[in-house]
Amino acid sequence: MDPGAERGGPAYAALRRRFLDGLPQRRAAIFAAADDQDRRQALHRLAGAAGSYGFAALGELARQAEVQTAPAGIRQALDALEAALDGLIAPARDGDPPPWKSAATTPDTTSS
């Protein structure tokens, strides 16, 4: 990230916007991965980038999906991640402001 891009400043906002604009490609890399290793690498990159740009909840969901090994756990984690990605991609695609607050907080994964 650009060292001059202070959180809350216009440069940081532009970086966040670029991150949001790239989410469809990141989503495709995860869900169209050729194998588990490629999927885990895409999840790992998303987890790191999401946290860097203030999307802690999205980063945590990607991390949870990255570490799952049981098929049921993988599916559940990917379903939650997919819903979160879709919730950020659709408003960005439609020109609406992204739901920053919900994407920046850590999700409650204890309830079902």
- Give the total number of structural domains in the chain: 1
In a domain, 73, yes or no: yes
In a domain, 110, yes or no: no
Cα–Cα distance list, 19 to 24, 38, 46, 73 (Å): 10, 20, 10, 27
Range of the domain at 50: 10-95
In a domain, 100, yes or no: no
In a domain, 46, yes or no: yes
Residue 59 sits in a domain whose CATH number is 1.20.120
Name the region of 31 (left: φ>0; alpha: ψ -120 to 50; beta: rest): alpha
Model confidence at 104: pLDDT above 50: no
- For 3-47, the pLDDT digits (tens) are 445 667 889 889 998 999 999 999 999 999 999 999 999 999 999
Model confidence at 71: pLDDT above 50: yes
